[in-house]
Amino acid sequence: MTKVTAQISISLDGFAAGPNQTEADPLGAGGERLHHWMFTDDKTAVDEEAVAEILEGTGAFVMGRNMFGPIRGAWTGDWRGWWGDDPPYHAPVFVLTHHPRDPVVMEGGTTFFFVTDGIESAVARARAAAGAQDVGIAGGAQTLRQAFAVGLVDEIDIHITPVMLGAGERLFGDGLGDVRFEQVAVRPSDNVIHARYRVVR
């Protein structure tokens, strides 16, 4: 059966984004440092493998509206995401929103679909689109918490970075219920600790 997986980078003090998120600084103050391990010239072989696994074997994605873009309220203009004409997903992406919008077709096989009836509907649509492949929840933290709260996540990779943000948006918080994890793998590098957990039900 298709697995629902997730990938997210967090600080040592548990934040997936810094405070004061804006259009110019979508990850908040200091938040860009959480992803330094992905883009540094000093990426190790362990980090390269982790980057490849983020997209490998994933046939569709789910993300929150905040991850797709900075626009609030009804859709205005022609915002098409942060990633340019050829986003890295190369698969259907289902974006959670309260405001309907027609699908946005991009280069490379990525199409953004906008889902107005909640996380469970978005994951169901992603499962159908993914076929035999996995569904990836691309973030952000609030979307992941919603998925955990209704028991949709099977496995999560948490990339723990040597950064302290002090404030911002936490990955885990109230309302998750009794979520238990089984540690599957831990792979440290010079830049980050890659930890994989299976959700125990």
pLDDT mean over 80-101:
95
Is residue 80, in this structure, part of any structural domain at all?
Answer: no
What pLDDT score was predicted for residue 24? 81
Establish if 82 belongs to a structural domain: no
Share of the chain above pLDDT 90, in %: 77
Count: domains in the chain: 1
pLDDT at position 18 over 80: yes
In a domain, 53, yes or no: yes
Answer whether residue 77 is part of any domain. no
Domain extent, residue 61, equals: 4-16+26-69+87-200
Q: Is there a domain that residue 93 lies in?
A: yes
Does residue 79 lie within any of the structural domains? Answer: no
Could you write out the three-class secondary structure of the chain? Answer: CCCEEEEEEECCCCEEECCCCCCCCCCCCCHHHHHHHHHCCCCCHHHHHHHHHHHCCEEEEEEEHHHHCCCCCCCCCCCCCCCCCCCCCCCEEEEECCCCCCCEECHHHCEEEEECCCHHHHHHHHHHHHCCCEEEEEECHHHHHHHHHCCCCCEEEEEECCCCCCCCEECCCCCCCCCEEEEEEEEECCCCEEEEEEEEC
pLDDT tens for residues 185-199?
Answer: 999 999 999 999 999
pLDDT beyond 90 at 15: yes
> What's the CATH number where 135 sits?
3.40.430.10
Residue 76 lies in a domain: no
Q: What is the pLDDT of residue 16?
A: 94
pLDDT digits (tens, 9 = 90+) for 165-182: 999 999 887 666 678 999
Could you tell me if residue 111 is inside a domain? yes
Residue 5, pLDDT above cutoff 70: yes
Of 39-53, 105-119, 124-138, give the lowest mean pLDDT range.
Answer: 39-53
